[in-house]
Amino acid sequence: MAGKNIKKNLPSREKRPALADEKFDIKRLQTAYITGIDLSLIDSALEELMPRMTNAFIYPKPQPFGITKTYSFDYDYEYYLKWGYGRNEITKGLIWFAFTFSEHKNNKPNISIIFYNHACDISINSELMTSQRVILKKCQNNAKEFDTLLQDHGGLYLKTYFKIEHQPRFYHWMLDQFEKPSTFSSTSILDYYNDAHSKYNNTRQQLIQFIKKNSNLSQNQFAHMMDKNINLNHAIRLVDPIFESDSFWSYDFKKQLDEIYNKVIKMKKLLYFLLS
């Protein structure tokens, strides 16, 4: 996810639509377009959540980031046949915002709120190898405490991804593993990561051919995808999801933010354990 510090880089508010009674709307997200209303909602969500986040997370202090444009060059493939999750299609990336806990936004696990056309994921998110090492090290050296914190939360899903770059710093996020709460552990995370490494040479070719068939990439983008992606580029997310059928989408904006915040706070012990 390519984004910028929300305080410094978002356009001034007079350039954004008035929110009135707007809220995060799954039907609007299903149009596959990012609107000015969506960006206003991201802006407002970060402004309203930041004081609560700052009070809740004393150290390290969270920093806000979010999407800043009405288009994305990322693509998502959110489908897992075993659990009947998602839709068997590649879709354009949509809106997201995040709270980071390091000078570089992805050096340590962050809190990300990512919207799809069928769900919203509130996650402890590790997109770079530097942040994944944090999770993998805890799984190796502090497995018992990690697993206890997973069990105490009780509602976290595991999602892992192959990141296939099709132009500099933009990716197809291809879902690899999707596990429901209580069906995975620290051992599972390590096994899935090692398996992703061992099978990557074969998987890379399969993914590239699937993307070529199902995405409208330019010749330059396809050539870039073929030249790059030689080494595994991976992501790990521990997710508390909001599904399309959940009542969240019927709430007003304030209540939606309350639910997002409550889900973040429920992850606090696990996040602090990972950051320690």
Instruction: Look at residue 182 and tell me if it is in a domain.
Output: yes
pLDDT reported for residue 182:
96
Instruction: Look at residue 18 and tell me if it is in a domain.
Output: no
Cis bond upstream, residue 64 (ω within 30): no
Instruction: Look at residue 14 and tell me if it is in a domain.
Output: no
| Nearest Cα residue to 238 out of 165, 80, 131 | 131
- CATH number of the domain that 75 lies in? 3.30.930.20
| Nearest Cα residue to 116 out of 89, 93, 88 | 93
Per run of 10 residues, the mean pLDDT along the chain (length 276 residues) is 49 54 94 92 96 95 93 96 95 96 83 97 96 97 98 98 97 98 98 97 96 95 96 97 98 97 98 96
Amino acid identity at 203: T
Instruction: Look at residue 17 and tell me if it is in a domain.
Output: no
- pTM for this model (two decimals): 0.93
pLDDT reported for residue 118:
95
Q: Per the structure, how many domains does the chain have? A: 1
Q: Tokens 């999602």 appear where?
A: 159
Cβ–Cβ < 8 Å for 172, 209: no
Q: Which two tokens stand for residue 31?
A: 């149009």
pLDDT reported for residue 13:
42
pLDDT reported for residue 102:
83
- Cα separation, 67 vs 84, in Å, equals 29
| Nearest Cα residue to 53 out of 263, 276, 242, 227 | 263
Instruction: Look at residue 15 and tell me if it is in a domain.
Output: no
Q: Longest Cα pair distance anywhere in the chain, in angstroms?
A: 51
Instruction: Look at residue 19 and tell me if it is in a domain.
Output: no
| Nearest Cα residue to 214 out of 69, 26, 76, 12 | 76
pLDDT reported for residue 3:
55
Instruction: Look at residue 75 and tell me if it is in a domain.
Output: yes
Query: Where in the sequence is the domain holding 144, given as residue range(s)?
Result: 4-9+24-275
Amino acid identity at 179: E
